[in-house]
Amino acid sequence: MIDEPSGRRTHRRTGHDTASETSGGGAALTEGDARAALMREVDRLLEAHFGPLDPRPSAPPLDVLVQTILSQNTTDTNTRRAFRNLRAAFPTWSLVRDAPASAIEDAIRSAGLARTKAPRIRRILRALDAAGDPTLASLSQMGDGAALAYLESFTGVGPKTARCVLLFALGRDVFPIDTHILRILRRLGALPPDVGAARAHREVVALVPRGRAYALHLRLIALGRRVCRPAKPSCGECPLRAACAHAKPDARP
Ligand code: SF4
């Protein structure tokens, strides 16, 4: 899961060095240990900075899947509007499944890429149930691995979308990585700078503290939107600057 074998000792100077924990009496950390310690520190700093989370909403897994597909390459506002329009035009998922693609496109146009997203959504609905109202209720009977593999078998459903369904609809402790989170984890030194999304999803399993996926996911996205922006990160006002490998030198406390 990491570049070096798990038992190999390393002490590369990165943001890991700022994490306060060491493994066993001050011995050098393995790189995997150091990255996991960094993520625990990030979790702690973000919780202190952002405070308590709002109550966790719940929604059926199929609703979350469709919303996440709609959200690809657009804003939250456009996603919400498209989902509302879709449910207003087609109150049941079987009506969406049986509708012409052009009618679905019209309903979701505010989310953009409607000509790609409409047939993608309809194809998934048709694969779920040929007779009754389509549902993803069977996911609750599956373990995380089986549920992710099942969701990722649909065209247009990648690791992030599948994990969003498990995290937000089923309350599973899995960690979706969007563009904000990938950028921040690379800058922090928690993931290699050239890592892609698929490998990042595999590697991060060993890094996110148990039970903390939901809180870390939401808070890192908030940080990516407000502080660690793509072009001009505001390191001077970042709660993670003391732990970050790429903090600008003049931003370090
Ligand atoms: S210190 Fe700067 S680069 Fe590091 S996470 Fe914060 S804003 Fe991003």
User: Could you give the CA distance from residue 223 to residue 246 in angstroms, rounded to a whole number?
Assistant: 15
* pLDDT at residue 253, rounded to an integer: 61
Atom of ligand 1 nearest to the CA of 183: 8
Which 3 state secondary structure label does DSSP give 132? coil
* C-alpha to C-alpha distance for 97 and 119, rounded to whole angstroms: 10
What is the distance between the alpha carbons of residues 51 and 64, in angstroms, rounded to a whole number?
A: 25
**What is the distance in A from the centroid of ligand 1 to the CA of 230?**
10
- The pLDDT value recorded for residue 25 is 46
Residue tagged active-site, from 117, 160, 232, 248: 160
Whether 246 is in the pocket of ligand 1, judged by its Cβ within 6 Å, is: yes
**Is the CB–ligand 1 distance for residue 39 below 6 Å?**
no
The pLDDT of residue 162: 98
For residues 243 and 19, is the Cβ–Cβ distance under 8 A? Answer: yes
d(CA 218, CA 178): 11
What torsion do the CA atoms of 43, 47, 48, 50 make, to the nearest 10 degrees? 130
Residue 238 CB less than 6 A away from ligand 1:
yes
Q: Which atom of ligand 1 is nearest to the CA of 251?
A: 1
**Secondary structure (3-state) at 178:** coil
**Which CATH architecture best describes the domain 14-56+177-253?**
Orthogonal Bundle (1.10)
192, with CB counted inside 10 A (0-12, 13-18, 19+), is middle
Ligand 1 centre to CA of 216 (Å) is: 15
pLDDT at res. 11: 35
Distance 228 CA to ligand 1 centre (A): 5
d(CA 192, CA 198): 13
pLDDT at 5: 29
The ligand 1 atom at the shortest distance from the C-alpha of residue 248 is 2
Whole-model pTM: value is 0.85
- 21 alpha carbon – ligand 1 mean position (Å): 20
Quick check: is 232 catalytic? no
Atom of ligand 1 at shortest distance to CA of 235?
2
Q: Tens-digit pLDDT profile for the chain (253 aa)?
A: 222 223 333 333 333 344 444 444 455 679 889 999 999 999 999 999 999 998 888 899 999 999 999 999 999 999 999 999 999 999 999 999 999 999 999 999 999 999 999 999 999 999 997 678 899 999 999 999 999 999 999 999 999 999 999 999 999 999 999 999 999 999 999 999 999 999 999 999 999 999 999 999 999 999 999 999 999 999 999 999 999 999 866 665 6
The CATH number that domain 61-170 falls under is 1.10.340.30
Q: Are 185 and 246 in contact (CB under 8 A)?
A: no
The rounded distance, in Å, linking the Cα atoms of 114 and 105 is 5
Q: Tell me which of 186, 240, 248, 250 to substitute to probe ligand 1's pocket, judged by most ligand atoms within 8 Å of the beta carbon.
A: 240
Q: Is the CB of 245 under 6 A from ligand 1?
A: no
Domain boundaries, the chain: 14-56+177-253, 61-170
At 195, list the tokens: 């890592």
